[in-house]
């Protein structure tokens, strides 16, 4: 019955694009490491051997870079912390989980990192808007989370913990930065991992310094394999690639494929601030770059993006939908808006073009932005059958 309720809810989200605010179950999560301690708290779960247990089914909505500093601060203080999310919150709230990349520390203090062109910090009270918007998990593994040093990171973690927003990818040392967050959601165990592959290297955590989790090969393999054993579903978030680049670099493809080979069920990317292609690999979805979401920039290069809605199972992607949004702040004033008509179609067409070569020369999105893996497989089988008869 619980599975049917989740399935119905997800289908309503994907087809209608709206639903009521989600009600969260009691969630069990490993205690996050304090920056004042030096030990890691882990949990140990075992995969259920009960074959009568329904297959886990989860709806996950993902957006890209979230940075509420700079020009946006005065707008939010005037309009309120809910304002940036008012046009898209229904998409976030109607999924089981929503995840974003927090591109700046939530802090009023800290020592500014020297030598960077851009450094940001966000008033901690803005976290209330993030929480109310329906964002459940924030990736902290990126090239701005240490803009205001260990104090900025400490304040960020403290703020998120107080708001009961889960976070991944940064901590007091390498072990704590890389520890997965594992959530028990109505009996479904979901593991979240966050990695940063962006500079400066000084932001990468070490054995003795705080920072972000860099996916050193041996540790990366161990972490993803352990999550695959401990959880029903594993979601991996990467901060990677080059800014304004619309195609993934070779290392992005390598790590995305390797994550899935090791057991990941969904791979999410961010950092370029623009869209990169979507790939279906072993029936799992990879979003190489989700572009910007709420982001304090007037860049002419980052005018549109997507909200990615997915429905995943341990057997792979059941369905997904890309919902084009405008993030061009000269028009939307730091409140992303859904696109419709010709504007929406143009984004979907470009996304299909960006995804074409990643999917062996096939379009994986239909005209409404849906991805139906099983239909694609059946179509390929029928095509191969017809070709074989010729």
- 236-280, pLDDT tens digit by residue? 999 999 999 999 999 999 999 999 999 999 999 999 999 999 999
Distance from C-alpha of 103 to C-alpha of 326, rounded to nearest angstrom: 19
Cβ pair 198, 245 in contact under 8 A: no
Half-sphere exposure of 105 (CA within 13 A, CB side): 30
Pick 40 or 196 by higher pLDDT.
196
Q: How far is CA 225 from CA 43, 134, 228, 317, in A?
A: 15, 29, 5, 19
pLDDT of residue 73 exceeding 60: yes
**Cα–Cα distance for residue pair 213/223, rounded to 1 Å:** 11
Q: Which two tokens stand for residue 35?
A: 């920056």
pLDDT over 70 (residue 94): yes
Q: Which residue has the tokens 């979240």?
A: 192
Q: Which of 255, 251, 306 is nearest to 277 (CA)?
A: 306
Q: Which residue has the tokens 């301690």?
A: 37
- What's 110-125 look like in SS3? CCCCCCCCCCCCECHH
Task: Say how many residues make up the chain.
Answer: 390
Q: Mean pLDDT of all residues in the chain?
A: 87
pLDDT tens profile 163-208: 999 999 999 999 999 999 999 999 999 999 999 999 999 999 999 9
CB atoms within 10 A of CB 387: 8
Nearest-angstrom CA–CA distance, 376 and 374: 5
Task: Tell me phi and psi for residue 380, to 5 degrees.
Answer: -65, -40
Residue 264 structure tokens: 């990941």
Judge whether 317 and 276 are in contact, CB under 8 Å: no
pLDDT greater than 90 at residue 19: no
Distance in angstroms between the alpha carbons of the first and the last residue of the chain: 48
The confidence score (pLDDT) of residue 104 equals 97
- Helix, strand, coil share of the chain (percent; to 5): 35, 25, 45
Q: Is the pLDDT of residue 24 over 70?
A: no
Range in 15-24, 60-69, 169-178 with the lowest mean pLDDT = 15-24
Cα 230 from Cα 99, distance rounded (Å): 20
Distance separating alpha carbons of residues 356 and 352, to the nearest angstrom: 6
Q: What is the pLDDT of residue 250?
A: 98
Using an 8 Å Cβ cutoff, are 194 and 213 in contact?
yes
pLDDT value, residue 35: 40
Which comes out higher in pLDDT, residue 4 or 216? 216
For 144-156, how does the pLDDT look when each residue is reduced to its tens digit (9 = 90+)?
A: 999 999 999 999 9
**CATH assignment, 2-48+58-389:** 3.60.21.10
In percent, the amount of the chain with pLDDT more than 90 equals 81
Q: Is 7 left (phi over 0), alpha (psi -120 to 50) or beta?
A: alpha
Q: What is the pLDDT at residue 380? A: 52
Both structure tokens of 216: 């050193």
What does the domain layout of the chain look like in residue ranges? 2-48+58-389
| Residue 375 CB coordination number (10 Å) | 12
Q: Are 291 and 244 in contact (CB under 8 A)?
A: no
Q: Phi first, then psi: what are they for 235, rounded to 5°?
A: -120, 125
The reported pLDDT for the residue numbered 53 is: 60
- Mapping DSSP to helix (H, G, I), strand (E, B) and coil, where does residue 184 land? strand
So what's the pLDDT on residue 58? 96
pLDDT attached to residue 200? 96
| Candidate from 208-222, 316-330, 367-381 with smallest mean pLDDT | 367-381
Helix (H, G, I), strand (E, B) or coil at 174: helix
| DSSP sequence for 301-353 | S--EEEEEEEEEETTEEEEEEEEEEE--HHHHTT--EE--HHHHHHHHHHHHH
Cβ atoms of 119 and 148 closer than 8 Å: yes
List, in sequence order, the alpha helices (H) in the chain. Answer: 2-16, 72-79, 89-93, 127-133, 149-163, 174-178, 217-230, 250-261, 329-332, 341-356, 373-389
Residue 220: left (phi > 0), alpha (psi -120 to 50), or beta? alpha
Count of C-beta atoms within a 10 Å radius of residue 278: 24
Indicate the burial class of 161 (C-beta count within 10 angstroms; 0-12, 13-18, 19 or more): middle
In the structure encoding, which two tokens stand for residue 254, read together?
């390598």
pLDDT above 50 for 42: no
Q: What percent of the chain is predicted at pLDDT more than 70?
A: 82
Scanning the structure block, which residue is given the tokens 């199972």? 313
């Amino acid at each position: 019955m619980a599975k049917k309720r989740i399935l119905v809810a997800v289908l309503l989200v994907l087809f209608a694009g709206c639903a009521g605010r989600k009600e969260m179950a009691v969630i069990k999560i490993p205690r996050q490491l304090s920056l004042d301690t030096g030990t890691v708290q882990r949990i140990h779960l075992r995969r259920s051997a009960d074959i009568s247990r329904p297959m886990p089914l989860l709806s996950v909505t993902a957006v890209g870079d979230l940075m509420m500093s700079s020009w946006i601060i005065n707008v939010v203080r005037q309009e309120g912390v809910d304002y940036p999310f008012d046009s898209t919150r229904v998409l976030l709230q109607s999924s089981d989980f929503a995840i974003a990349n927090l591109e700046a520390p939530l802090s009023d203090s800290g020592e500014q990192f020297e030598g960077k062109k851009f450094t940001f910090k966000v008033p901690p009270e803005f976290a209330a808007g993030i929480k109310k918007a329906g964002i459940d998990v924030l990736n902290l593994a990126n090239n701005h989370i240490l803009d205001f040093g260990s104090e900025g990171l400490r304040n960020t973690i403290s703020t998120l913990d107080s708001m009961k927003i889960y976070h991944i990818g940064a901590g007091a040392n390498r072990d704590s930065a890389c520890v997965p967050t594992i959530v028990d959601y109505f009996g479904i165990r979901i593991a979240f991992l966050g990695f940063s592959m962006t500079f400066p290297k000084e932001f990468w955590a070490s054995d003795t310094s705080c920072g972000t989790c860099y996916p050193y090969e041996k540790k990366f393999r161990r972490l993803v394999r352990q999550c695959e054993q401990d959880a029903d579903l594993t979601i991996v978030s990467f901060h990677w690639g080059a800014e304004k680049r619309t195609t993934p670099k070779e290392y992005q493809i390598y790590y995305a494929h390797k994550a899935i080979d090791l057991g990941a069920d969904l791979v999410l990317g961010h950092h370029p601030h623009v869209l990169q292609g979507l790939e279906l690999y072993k029936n799992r979805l990879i979003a190489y770059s989700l572009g910007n979401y709420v982001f304090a920039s007037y860049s002419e290069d980052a005018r549109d993006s997507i909200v990615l809605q997915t429905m995943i199972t341990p057997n792979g992607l059941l369905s997904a939908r890309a919902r084009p949004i405008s993030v061009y702040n000269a028009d939307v004033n730091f409140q992303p808006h859904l696109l419709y008509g010709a504007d929406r179609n143009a984004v979907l067409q470009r996304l299909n073009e960006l995804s074409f070569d990643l999917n062996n020369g096939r379009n994986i999105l239909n005209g409404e932005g849906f991805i139906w893996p099983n239909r694609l497989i059946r179509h390929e089988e029928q095509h191969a059958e017809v070709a074989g008869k010729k």
